[in-house]
Chain A
Amino acid sequence: MGTWRLFILLTGVFVVFSLRAGPAAAKSDHDIPEFSVPPPPFSEDIFPCSDCHGDMETNPERRELEEHTEIVKMFDHASDQRWCLDCHNPDDRDKLRLASGKLITFEESYYLCGQCHGTIFRDWKAGVHGKRTGEWNGKKVYRLCVHCHNPHSPRFKPLKPLPPPKRPEEIKNRHLTNDQIPSNPLDALKLDVTK
């Protein structure tokens, strides 16, 4: 009798949850908001990884690598505790692997980063960590973690600042022709947000 009740209860719970997991879950998996995002910034000709790794023997040992030397050289991401296959999936190299064993694509790499950086992940989902472009009340463009942080060396790299403002004493009473007017230093960087 007790088993029967339990069975009904469990079935009920299952039905309720499967209903809930309908359209709402399809829209936002784990509170991931709807967004568009540029594709991951792979180095040239490096993806898919299975092109080379497809028929290679998997060796999980920490060792001197013959390939990917530039990655090993820059590797600075808790590198004493970590090696390639802690994030890259050994069997299908075109996927990443979470600590749970779940495989994810490179387009969803934020799940991987979010495993350790939970508070940052939370802020990112809310649109507060990281850059957003697009429309404040419409379609927003997100960035993946790896668009700004190299996953192998995540600290944000210093930039050259643009020139400081003119001091009051440098302001001249003069008339310049069109070509003499100072141009915007942003144009040299090919950055334009006015379009």
Chain B
Amino acid sequence: MKKNKKITRRSFLKGTAAGTAALAIPVGTADASVWEAFFQQHFKEMDEDEKATVIARLEKEYKKRYKKDFSIKTTDALPGVLFGYGLDLSRCIGCRRCVYACVKENNQSRDPQIQWISVLRFEKGEKFVSNLEEADKYYYPDKVPEDEYFYMPVQCQQCENPPCVKVCPTQATWKEPDGIVVIDYNWCIGCRFCMAACPYGARHFNLKTPRIREEEINPNTHYLGNRPRFQGVVEKCTFCVQRTRGNPGRYPACVEICPVGARKFGNLLDPESEIRYCIENKRVFRLKEDLNTSPKFYYFFAT
């Protein structure tokens, strides 16, 4: 009786290699779409045909998951456009309508909750810019604005020099020619380096599969924007890329919902745009300017 069958180094390595390969590809669910997703190209390297294939696959997947017909755009940046955003702190009343308009437009998870906009509350006269982490974002009075406070919504600042992009090990996030920092959710590996690098807390992680009521899903999406995300990927504000990229293009959802008109949006390269008027005529500042991130998000006091 041969008890100990000797394992040679060669056969061990062979076996391990075969075993790993078998494990890596989930045999049970290995229909074509899993293979395709696994070998999908980087978005920037795809040609039009490859994009169309990927979109068709995703639309099918989303339909299965949310029982709705999705449209996933892959619209490129418009030439001669660099998006900029203005927020009038003298008007903002902290009502959080922007937060939930964003959640609705951009299909953020309702459970566990993800919100791309945080509205911070500061006491008037408080030295606030250096002290964001201690700001109160859980305030909930009967009515806003309150006399002794002011409010500052913070979301992705769409930096010209984005630290999140620098640290991404898979190049799953990058800055588009129109200045929007986007994520390819199919390339994100969920390492969260970008979240650590972002000085504005603008990136959010899907710890679990995002859950949204089927009837509340927004099926008008962009590949780099509000299409439904997966568990284990990072997401962030994209200036509503699915709305704003177009000629004509619509305002972002947060701009349209704001009841006091504190939010301004436009093309930084167009001297006639609203955002250029703000920069030229108002006292603007950018958040944590000393970090050299060069945000394209301008806070101002219109008075």
Q: Return B107 CB to nearest CB of chain A, in Å.
A: 10
A158-B93, A159-B93 are known contacts. Are A131 and B248 too (CB-CB below 8 A)? no
CB of A133 within 8 A of CB of B302, answer no
CB of A167 within 8 A of CB of B138, answer yes
Q: Select from chain A the residue with minimum beta-carbon distance to B112.
A: A171
Bound Cα distance A179, B110 (Å): 12
Per a CB cutoff under 8 Å, which of B139, B143, B273 touches A160?
A: B143
Convert A132-162 into 0s and 1s, putting 1 for each residue whose CB lies closer than 8 angstroms to a CB of B: 1111111100010000100000001011111
Grouping DSSP codes into helix (H, G, I), strand (E, B) and loop, the A interface class, with mixed when no group exceeds half, is: loop
Per a CB cutoff under 8 Å, which of B100, B213, B248, B281 touches A135?
A: B248
Decide if A69 is an interface residue (CB 8 Å cutoff). Answer: no
Q: Return A159 CB to nearest CB of chain B, in Å.
A: 5
Decide if A185 is an interface residue (CB 8 Å cutoff). Answer: yes
In this complex, how many residues of chain A approach chain B with their Cβ under 8 Å: the count is 47
Q: Return B81 CB to nearest CB of chain A, in Å.
A: 8
- Residues from chain A with a CB closer than 8 A to the CB of B144 are 158-161
Decide if B111 is an interface residue (CB 8 Å cutoff). Answer: yes
18 A-B residue contacts at CB 8 Å? A127-B264, A128-B281, A128-B302, A136-B273, A137-B270, A158-B143, A158-B145, A160-B95, A161-B96, A161-B139, A166-B112, A171-B207, A174-B111, A181-B211, A182-B110, A182-B113, A183-B213, A194-B104
Q: Please report A residues at the B interface, Cβ cutoff 8 Å.
A: 119, 123, 126-139, 143, 148, 156, 158-167, 171-174, 176, 178-179, 181-187, 191-194
Instruction: List 5 additional A-B contacts (Cβ < 8 Å) besides A128-B274, A159-B95.
Output: A133-B255, A164-B96, A174-B111, A186-B101, A186-B104
